[in-house]
Amino acid sequence: MKHKEILELLNKMTIEEKIGQMVQIAGDIFLSEDKNAVLTGPLKDLHLHNEMVYSIGSVLNVIGARNVRQVQKEYLSKSRLKIPLLFMDDIINGYKIAFPIPIAQGCSWNIKVIKEMAEISAMESSIAGANVNFSPMVDLSRDARWGRVMESIGGEDPLLGEIYAKTIVETYQGKKLTEVGKIASCVKHIAAYGAVEAGRDYNTVDMSEREFRQYYLPAYKSAIEAGAEMLMTSFNILNGIPATVNTWLIQEIIRKELGFKGIIISDYGAIEETIAHGYSANGKEAAKNAINAGVDIDMMSSIYANYLKELCIENQEIENKVNESVLRILSLKNKLGLFENPYGNINEEKEKTYLMNPSNLEKAKKLTQETFVLLKNKHHILPINKDKKIAFIGPYVNNIGITGSWSMFSDRSQNHTLLDSFQEKLGNNIAYAKGSEILRQEEINKILSAEGLPMVHIENEAQKEQEMIASAVEISKRADIILLALGEHYKQTGEACSRSDIALPENQIQLINELYKLSKPMILILFNGRPLQLNTIEEKLDSILEVWFPGTTGAKAITEIILGEENPSGKLTMSFPQNVGQCPVYYNHYNTGRPHHDNFRYVSRYQDIPTESFYPFGYGLSYCDFKYTELHLNKHKISENETITVMVKIENQSNYAGYEVVQLYIQDVYGSVVRPVKELKAFKKEYFKPHEIKYVKFDISIDMLKFWNDKLDYVAEPGQFKVFVGGDSVKVLEDKFEFLLD
């Protein structure tokens, strides 16, 4: 459709039809056989009147070629102007193939990995009818208590967030949204949602504009510059005003400064929630606040549906804003080609051949392997010698539930258990005992009751627990190595899963303690969605492989790594805390006036734990041993428009081939505002053959030295800089240079 025709269409629309476009509801109501149930059920809860249903603009989380076709068809048959619906879905870590959760994907430090996962997700979901994906989530996350860190693609680092955001948006959207396999990206959540106080979900955020621009904004900005079609607001208050109705954020920053022209959608019910926040006095005011701020679509509340019309009648300016929003929505439908073909890229035939196809599953397995992080490997106990007798213990050994909390659409028919995968390779050299449940029932009941589900009582749970441990100990006595598969419950991570205790569940710790008494080598495969507190168990373990929630191909991917057929290469994107009291802990912090040093009491530290994180940002081992030497700068002074070339020698001192993520950090030693102790500025993931030596090169430019000063200018200031290169943010080689003005 030409732009002129869209304007003509807009002119034909009644005010009700326009407002309908700005409302999004869960689309399953169209799928119900019993239409009465539909109109009395969800719509009643949302206080929507029946006519509104056939003028709404988009639906949430309906997917599958058959379903989407059915809903679109029925909707169009009843809609006066035949404006097709938009189908928006949460394909957070894949559709039918579940990929590793986003925090894990980020740990690959490999753009190719991120891109290929996004490509398959987009193709799978677009042929199944998705037009828009509520992804990527690029909220910078420093606090492991926050359950949603599992969704954060860049973890605690703004540069990773920036790079990954661009990669994912460009991959989802391609050059043209009508191309097969392309979907629009809805980037979330604007803004600073990851900074919720005390890591409690939906909580308050208060931060200086400088801090916001320096750390939190870059990833959203990068997504906008990459052409993201949509943004989603966040649930938090930002500096006193809920983000969803924050005019400064949406109008000044997002629209004016960053030039965002696409659609802004509220998060689920967030416009209505501005009342509970104590900002909007009632529904009408909530609608007014949101439309004035610039929110185009009200997700899952009836605020726009019920109050926008009245506001338009009272105020022409609001009607103008409604017209602008509807124009944006119609324009996206047009870009997706839905006016010509309301069924978009839906393709039942391709669905049959492409979804879960074996070559994608094989690819997924390889990609998944790059997301694992080897946290510890004492005496190179991994990879496991295949001749050893293994006791395989833990609730994740014989469990296909390893796809994480957003994998509701994934096809579990191809999920394997670790037990299957190991037995396939090693036959009967493995003895299995569950050893413990993931959680005690009391913990599960807390989750069930929060979901309104009935609680379960288990008779003699304590005794059963002891019996499970006893049989694990028994089989371990006869083994050479104890291989543990433990971790969080997937329902302990994700939205509304903030936790003040981020250690492994108590019953699993008890299992470790009992097995430790056998003095046998113990290896832990760790399933989780956040950095965990490992301080009480780490010493008892010889090796720890962090596998997050690895998705459909996870079990096979892990098996190959543990057996040494593949080599781990992931690096952490979030620091692991010593214990929960240290949260938030992150590598790019500022110095205090009293940095920690020994033998002096009045310094900035904890009395009971070290100041440093337990495992730092950027950290991750390999079966290779990489030795960094000979850091060399081609000059030690730089002026405007110049670059410094940094070179480092890296030697793979092992018989294994593998990847290493070489990281370059810079510190601006003195600034007009204080600067962090280190900031990641560049990285390269390099492949090394056994015993290969490589010289890895980076260029430092003045752009890398820029920051937001106290006048909110983005500047590089002359002075001293330190440069660090290493395989993580702590173990680095160091040199310095000076930036001089010409």
Residues that bind ligand BGC (CB under 6 A): 60, 90, 134, 188, 267-268, 495
Q: What angle do CA 522, 402, 165 make, to 5 degrees?
A: 110
State the CB neighbour count (10 A cutoff) for residue 518.
14
Q: Which is nearer to ligand BGC, 61 or 701 (CB)?
A: 61
Q: How many angstroms separate the CA atoms of 542 and 285, rounded?
A: 59
Q: How many angstroms separate the CA atoms of 129 and 569, rounded?
A: 35
Q: How far is the CB of 500 from ligand BGC (least distance, A)?
A: 21
| Pair 554, 406: CB distance under 8 Å | no
Q: Which is nearer to ligand BGC, 90 or 679 (CB)?
A: 90
Q: How far is the CB of 406 from ligand BGC (least distance, A)?
A: 9
| Pair 502, 530: CB distance under 8 Å | yes
For residue 380, give Cα distances in angstroms to 120, 153, 658, 730: 35, 30, 15, 21
Q: Which is nearer to ligand BGC, 188 or 309 (CB)?
A: 188
Query: β-pairing, 237-238 with 230-233?
Result: unpaired
Q: Which is nearer to ligand BGC, 404 or 727 (CB)?
A: 404
Active site residue 267: yes
Q: Give the list of residues 6+ apart from residue 250 with CB closer than 8 angstroms, or none.
A: 190, 233, 264, 293, 294, 295
| Pair 662, 648: CB distance under 8 Å | yes
Q: How many angstroms separate the CA atoms of 467 and 477, rounded?
A: 15
Q: How many angstroms separate the CA atoms of 365 and 120, rounded?
A: 13
Q: Which is nearer to ligand BGC, 190 or 704 (CB)?
A: 190
Q: How far is the CB of 188 from ligand BGC (least distance, A)?
A: 5
Q: How many angstroms separate the CA atoms of 264 and 186, rounded?
A: 9
Structure tokens at 667: 């510190």
Q: How far is the CB of 125 from ligand BGC (least distance, A)?
A: 14
- CB burial of 231-252 (b: ≥16 within 10 Å; e: otherwise) equals bbbbbbbbbebbbbbbeebbee
Q: How far is the CB of 530 from ligand BGC (least distance, A)?
A: 17
Q: Which of 89, 139, 267, 542 is catalytic?
A: 267
Q: Which is nearer to ligand BGC, 161 or 568 (CB)?
A: 161
Q: How far is the CB of 341 from ligand BGC (least distance, A)?
A: 26
Q: Give the list of residues 6+ apart from residue 4 with CB closer than 8 angstroms, or none.
A: none
Q: Which is nearer to ligand BGC, 134 or 683 (CB)?
A: 134
Q: Which is nearer to ligand BGC, 169 or 391 (CB)?
A: 169
For residue 708, give Cα distances in angstroms to 213, 321, 505: 7, 33, 42
Q: In 517-597, which residue ranges form alpha helices assigned H by DSSP?
A: 554-562
Cα 437 to chain centroid distance, Å, stands at: 27
Q: How far is the CB of 476 from ligand BGC (least distance, A)?
A: 42
Q: How far is the CB of 134 from ligand BGC (least distance, A)?
A: 4
- CB burial of 334-365 (b: ≥16 within 10 Å; e: otherwise) equals bbbbbbeebbbbbbeebbeebbbbeebbebbb
Residue type for 222, please? S
Q: Is the peptide bond before 136 cis (omega within 30 degrees of 0)?
A: yes
Q: How far is the CB of 267 from ligand BGC (least distance, A)?
A: 5
Q: How far is the CB of 283 from ligand BGC (least distance, A)?
A: 20
Q: How many angstroms separate the CA atoms of 726 and 663, rounded?
A: 5
The candidate with the shortest Cα–Cα distance to 136, out of 203, 210, 101, 187, is 187
The candidate with the shortest Cα–Cα distance to 130, out of 79, 82, 71, 175, is 71
Q: Give the list of residues 6+ apart from residue 502 with CB closer than 8 angstroms, or none.
A: 144, 145, 530, 531, 532, 533, 577, 580, 583
Q: Which is nearer to ligand BGC, 136 or 616 (CB)?
A: 136
Q: Which is nearer to ligand BGC, 268 or 656 (CB)?
A: 268
Which of the residues are catalytic? 267
